[in-house]
């Protein structure tokens, strides 16, 4: 099953009662913007997932700006949405999946829930198709969900350092080129990148309508980006482990499976001043 779903497919799933829809809209510069937009209008029946509250645990230190949520808290969130095994979770946002639909999709996979997809084109694609919207809020549910995160899908600090030293990891950074080179840094205290990383901006996954490029196009792009490496040696990172999920999703969409995530990403890497930093790079 493709990790992406079209607006028409989602509308059919809603009508059939086979999907659980989650609105993940978020602007980092305006933390309340996503929930405000959700309350004004959303896909009918959709729940809201806040990146900071539901898809992260901001109480953790040394793990970047968006540390992973605890398993128990994430399980409680999923139960409150009424998740059951027969439902497909469909996440959407208004940033082509990058903020933060792909993050939810990856967290579900991390927790062993493979029946999850991202709405291709997100909120704007839904509106473009003239499909209905709603402002009513779904009623809280009482369910029982218990997930365990799969450590094999993640890489920690030690494993990343060892893999880079042994050249067994191909580290892809999803941030924009200027941030990667260290020319600008709007969010974190230190500019630059992890030595040995390659740059593959997540924005390159999308076309002019903020929809994912065809699978064969993405496959060619990523094969060039990871030249000399196998897909299962790829580890994704970004600023805080959010847009990195977009690159991971794009690779899965392209049929390049098995890549992993360095969730702390750049903001976690620089939390220890003894870790090396590369950049700025005038090239």
Tell me the DSSP string of 58-97: TT-SSS-SSPPPPHHHHHHHHHHTT--TTPEEEEE-SSTT
Domain ranges for the chain, please list them: 4-128, 154-269
Task: Please state which architecture CATH assigns to domain 154-269.
Answer: 3-Layer(aba) Sandwich (3.40)
The mean predicted confidence, pLDDT, of the chain is 97
Contact 214, 238 (CB under 8 A): no
Res 185 pLDDT > 80: yes
Residue located via tokens 């499909």: 131
* pLDDT per residue as tens digits for the range 33-82: 999 999 999 999 999 999 999 999 999 999 999 999 999 999 999 999 99
Which neighbouring-strand residues pair with 171? 235
Give residue 123's pLDDT band: very low, low, confident or very high (50, 70, 90): very high
* pLDDT per residue as tens digits for the range 197-209: 999 999 999 999 9
Is 88 assigned a catalytic role? no
Q: What is the pLDDT of residue 283?
A: 43
From 88, 229, 238, 245, active-site residue: 238
Give residue 281's pLDDT band: very low, low, confident or very high (50, 70, 90): low
Average pLDDT of the residues in 178-193: 97
Tell me the DSSP string of 135-194: -PPPPP----------GGGB--HHHHHHHHHHT--EEEE-S-HHHHHTS--SSSSS-SB-
Contact 69, 107 (CB under 8 A): yes
- Residue 150: is it exposed, middle or buried by C-beta count within 10 angstroms (0-12/13-18/19+)? exposed
What pTM was computed for the model? Answer: 0.97
Residue 148: how many CB atoms within 10 A of its CB? 10
Task: Please state which architecture CATH assigns to domain 4-128.
Answer: 3-Layer(aba) Sandwich (3.40)
Contact 40, 135 (CB under 8 A): yes
């Amino acid at each position: 099953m493709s990790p992406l779903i079209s607006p028409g497919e989602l509308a059919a799933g809603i009508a059939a009662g086979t999907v659980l829809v989650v609105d993940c809209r978020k602007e980092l510069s305006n933390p309340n913007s996503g929930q405000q937009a959700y309350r004004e209008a959303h896909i009918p029946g959709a729940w809201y997932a806040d990146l900071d509250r539901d898809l992260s645990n901001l109480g953790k230190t040394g793990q970047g700006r968006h540390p992973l949520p605890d398993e128990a808290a994430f399980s409680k969130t999923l139960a409150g949405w009424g998740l059951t095994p027969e439902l497909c979770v469909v996440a959407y946002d208004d940033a082509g999946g990058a903020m933060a639909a792909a993050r939810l999709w990856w967290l579900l996979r991390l927790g062993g829930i493979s029946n999850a997809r991202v709405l291709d084109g997100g909120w704007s694609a839904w509106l473009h198709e003239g499909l209905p919207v709603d402002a009513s809020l779904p009623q809280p549910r009482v369910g029982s969900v218990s997930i365990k995160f799969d450590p094999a899908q993640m890489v920690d600090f030690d494993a990343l350092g060892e893999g880079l030293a042994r050249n067994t990891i191909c580290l892809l950074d999803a941030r924009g080129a200027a941030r990667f080179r260290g020319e600008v840094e709007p969010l974190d205290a230190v500019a630059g990148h992890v030595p040995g990383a390659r740059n593959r901006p997540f924005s390159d996954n999308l076309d002019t309508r903020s929809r994912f490029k065809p699978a064969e196009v993405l496959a060619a792009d990523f094969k060039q980006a990871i030249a000399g490496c196998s897909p299962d040696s790829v580890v994704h990172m970004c600023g805080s482990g959010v847009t990195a999920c977009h690159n991971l999703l794009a690779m899965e969409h392209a049929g390049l499976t098995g890549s992993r995530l360095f969730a702390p990403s750049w903001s976690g890497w620089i939390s220890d001043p003894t870790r090396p930093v590369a950049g700025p790079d005038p090239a």
